[in-house]
């Protein structure tokens, strides 16, 4: 590879985002084909696809489900595929039982959660206007979609507007924060040209959702101002909707067991492109090195540190192929890859079921199953029996949710 090709490769590796399997466009055509919607709605800041339940000539028993976090516009075809074409056909089961599925998408998934809540509010009001009969609504979302719907319902209650929702659910939603390794966040901005990965990591939604955010301007890692503002806005509407029954589902385990990832180990090492760049698994302590970043064009080196972080990478929780996704892109452009930990925790179990904060090791690794469920802000909760991918629809979680619909 020539010097010019090396430079081009270094500039191109940011052409990706950290996407979940549920909402990401598959790299190969899936065997599953999503059906065409019965209706398409244009909404403020977004849109919806309506799939009526079996035997329903109009919307009768609606279940509204919001898309999660990524960069760019929602693709509801792939969202339907992700929710129905895997191990458990959640949407087909809903429709078979006479439930109308209304998928909510956003014009920009990385926009502010408060901004995208307007889409949910509009969808709730339109559903109520078009529905035949008096069956109450079920409203929820996957990942960030659970935060958007949570805020929207609470805001409607504050405004004394009838949302007619009897059940709210969140599916692996980061109620207490999500985690992207700080070294990866820093690397997105170490790439010497503007790129989608950096835009995703520095987007309003990322700043609001991430437990700690790496600021590309200062190089510091801390609570983003946007997160503080979002939590304040959530508090101003009561934190949660009070009328519906609140369900929380976690893709992580509830027995305190996470991934077998020792702290302070090499997670990913790179040669040829960004030669010598190394990412380390998160360890506790002061001034812990989580990444050594090196590039040739223009030449630069950066050591990324954290202080007072618990051991996030192996924590119980829904996983994301965070290092694996980056490794795929680096490999595509000619890098030699030593990938030792492909998947890491993205939404800790205690965050998904809103029962503990993430600041302390003992809370992050708490066995949810042994805790008093009254400590959760949800009315009912479930953690997965096995560690599963963030927002993956499993039979265990899917059937648990269906059994609790009003």
Q: How far is CA 377 from CA 5, 118, 150, 362, in A?
A: 53, 24, 12, 19
Mean pLDDT to the nearest integer, 6-18 = 93
Confidence of residue 291 (pLDDT cuts 50, 70, 90): very high
Instruction: State the CATH number of the domain containing residue 157.
Output: 3.40.50.1820
Candidates 177, 176, 169; CA nearest to 145 is 169
Q: For residue range 55-66, what is the model confidence (pLDDT) as tens digits?
A: 999 999 999 999
Q: Are residues 214 and 284 in the same domain?
A: yes
Three-class DSSP category at 35: coil
Sequence-separated (6 or more) residues with CB below 8 Å from residue 46: 74, 104, 105, 106, 107, 116, 119
Alpha-carbon span 359 to 370, nearest angstrom: 20
Q: Is 332 helix (H, G, I), strand (E, B) or coil?
A: helix
Instruction: Provide the number of structural domains found in the chain.
Output: 2
CA distance 119 to 224: 24
192 with 330, same domain: the answer is: yes
Determine the pLDDT at residue 115: 98
Tokens representing 256? Answer: 């305190």
Query: What average pLDDT does the chain have?
Result: 96
Q: Which residues contact 286 (CB under 8 A, 6 or more apart)?
A: 307, 308
pLDDT tens for 260-274 read 999 999 999 999 999
The answer on 159 and 109 residing in a single domain is yes
Same-domain status, 187 and 307:
yes
pLDDT surpassing 70 at residue 131: yes
The predicted pLDDT at position 22 comes to 77
Last residue of a domain, one of 299, 325, 345: 345
* Contact between 59 and 52 (Cβ < 8 Å): yes
In a domain, 331, yes or no: yes
Residue 195 domain-assigned (yes or no): yes
Can you tell me the mean pLDDT for 272-295?
98
Say whether both 107 and 190 belong to one domain.
Answer: no
Q: Given 314, 345, 376, which residue is the final one in a domain?
A: 345
- Domain ranges, residue 164: 39-176+226-258+351-403
Distance, in Å, from the CA atom of 121 to the CA atom of 127, rounded to the nearest integer, reads: 10
**pLDDT tens per residue across span 68-99:** 999 999 999 999 999 999 999 999 999 999 99
Give the three-state DSSP class for 130. helix
Residue 356 has pLDDT above 70, yes or no: yes
**Tens digit of pLDDT for each residue in 315-343?**
999 999 999 999 999 999 999 999 999 99
The answer to whether residues 232 and 309 belong to one domain is: no
Domain-embedded: residue 33: no
């Amino acid at each position: 590879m020539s010097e010019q090709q090396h430079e081009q490769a270094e500039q191109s590796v940011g052409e990706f985002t950290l996407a979940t399997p549920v909402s990401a466009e598959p790299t190969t055509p899936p065997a599953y084909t999503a059906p065409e919607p019965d209706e398409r709605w244009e909404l403020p800041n977004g849109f919806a696809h309506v799939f009526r339940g079996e035997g329903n000539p109009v919307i009768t028993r609606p279940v509204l489900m919001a898309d999660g976090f990524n960069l760019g516009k929602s693709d509801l075809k792939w969202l339907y595929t992700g929710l129905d074409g895997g191990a458990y056909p959640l949407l087909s089961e809903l429709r078979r039982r006479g439930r109308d599925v209304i998928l909510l998408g956003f014009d920009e998934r990385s926009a502010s959660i408060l901004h995208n809540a307007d889409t949910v509010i509009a969808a709730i009001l339109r559903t109520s206007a078009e529905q035949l009969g008096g069956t109450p609504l079920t409203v929820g979302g996957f990942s960030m979609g659970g935060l958007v719907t949570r805020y929207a319902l609470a805001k409607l209650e504050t405004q004394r507007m009838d949302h007619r929702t009897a059940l709210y659910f969140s599916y692996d939603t980061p109620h207490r924060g999500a985690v992207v390794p700080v070294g990866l966040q820093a690397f997105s901005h170490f790439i010497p040209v503007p790129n989608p990965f950096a835009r995703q990591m520095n987007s309003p939604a990322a700043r609001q959702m991430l437990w700690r955010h790496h600021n590309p301007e200062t190089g510091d890692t801390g609570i983003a101002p946007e997160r503080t503002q979002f939590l304040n806005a959530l508090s101003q509407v009561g934190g949660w909707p009070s009328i519906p029954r609140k369900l929380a589902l976690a893709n992580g385990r509830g027995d305190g067991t996470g991934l077998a990832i020792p702290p302070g180990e090499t997670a990913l090492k790179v040669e040829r492109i960004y030669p010598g760049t190394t990412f380390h698994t998160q360890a506790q302590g002061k001034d812990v090195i989580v990444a050594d970043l090196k590039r040739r064009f223009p030449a630069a080196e950066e050591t990324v540190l954290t202080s007072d972080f618990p051991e996030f990478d192996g924590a119980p929780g829904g996983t994301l192929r965070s290092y694996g996704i980056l490794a795929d892109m680096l490999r595509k452009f000619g890098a030699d890859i030593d990938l030792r930990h492909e998947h890491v925790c993205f939404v800790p179990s205690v965050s998904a079921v809103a029962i503990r904060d993430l600041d302390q090791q003992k809370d992050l690794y708490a066995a949810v199953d042994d805790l008093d469920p009254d400590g959760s802000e949800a009315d009912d909760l479930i953690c997965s029996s096995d560690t599963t991918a963030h927002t993956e629809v499993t039979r265990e979680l899917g059937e648990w949710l269906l059994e609790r619909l009003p």
